[in-house]
Amino acid sequence: MAFDYYSSGAWDEVTLRDNRAAFERIKLLPRMLVDVSKRDLKVNILGESLQLPILIAPMAFQCLAHNSGEVATAKAAASTGAGMILSTMSTKSIEEVAASSNNSLRWFQLYIHKDKGLTRALVERAFAAGYKALCLTVDAPLLGQRERDKRNQFVLPTGLHLANLTSMSGLDIPHEQGESGLFAYFAQQLNPAVTWQDLEWLQSLSPLPLVIKGILRADDAVNAVKCGAKAIIVSNHGGRQLDSAIASIEALPDIVAAVNNTAAVLVDGGIRRGVDILKAIAYGANAVLIGRPILWGLALNGEAGVTHVIELLRAEFDLAMALSGCTCIQDIESSLIR
* 144 in a known ligand binding site: no
Residue 254 near residue 27, CB atoms below 8 Å: no
Q: How far is CA 111 from CA 87, 108, 114, 148, 153, in A?
A: 9, 10, 10, 23, 23
Count the Cβ atoms, other than its own, within 10 Å of residue 115: 14
* 297 in a known ligand binding site: no
Count the Cβ atoms, other than its own, within 10 Å of residue 40: 14
In the annotation, is 237 catalytic?
A: yes
* 59 in a known ligand binding site: yes
* 38 in a known ligand binding site: no
* 217 in a known ligand binding site: no
* 324 in a known ligand binding site: no
Q: How far is CA 295 from CA 7, 35, 189, 305, in A?
A: 10, 36, 26, 9
* 27 in a known ligand binding site: no
Residue 22 near residue 247, CB atoms below 8 Å: yes
Q: How far is CA 298 from CA 57, 91, 99, 148, 162, in A?
A: 13, 14, 19, 22, 19
* 84 in a known ligand binding site: no
* 291 in a known ligand binding site: yes
The alpha carbon of residue 336 and the mean position of all alpha carbons in its chain are separated, in whole angstroms, by 25
Residue 98 near residue 131, CB atoms below 8 Å: yes
Residue 279 near residue 26, CB atoms below 8 Å: yes
* 58 in a known ligand binding site: yes
* 192 in a known ligand binding site: no
* 206 in a known ligand binding site: no
* 332 in a known ligand binding site: no
Which one from 113, 175, 237, 308 is the annotated catalytic residue? 237
* 235 in a known ligand binding site: yes
User: From CA 73, how far away is CA 62, in angstroms rounded?
Assistant: 9
Residue among 114, 98, 96 at smallest CA distance from 106: 98
Residue 138 near residue 214, CB atoms below 8 Å: yes
Helix ranges, the chain (H): 2-7, 14-25, 69-80, 94-100, 116-128, 147-152, 166-169, 181-189, 198-203, 218-226, 248-259, 274-282, 292-324
Residue among 52, 102, 57 at smallest CA distance from 82: 52
* 20 in a known ligand binding site: no
* 141 in a known ligand binding site: no
* 151 in a known ligand binding site: no
> Residue 43 corresponds to which amino acid?
V
User: From CA 161, how far away is CA 209, in angstroms rounded?
Assistant: 28
* 274 in a known ligand binding site: no
Which residues make up each annotated binding site? 5, 58-60, 87, 109, 111, 137, 146, 213, 235, 237, 240, 268-272, 291-292
Which residues make up each annotated binding site for FMN? 58-60, 87, 109, 137, 213, 235, 268-272, 291-292
Tell me the catalytic residues: 237
Which residues make up each annotated binding site for glyoxylate? 5, 111, 146, 237, 240
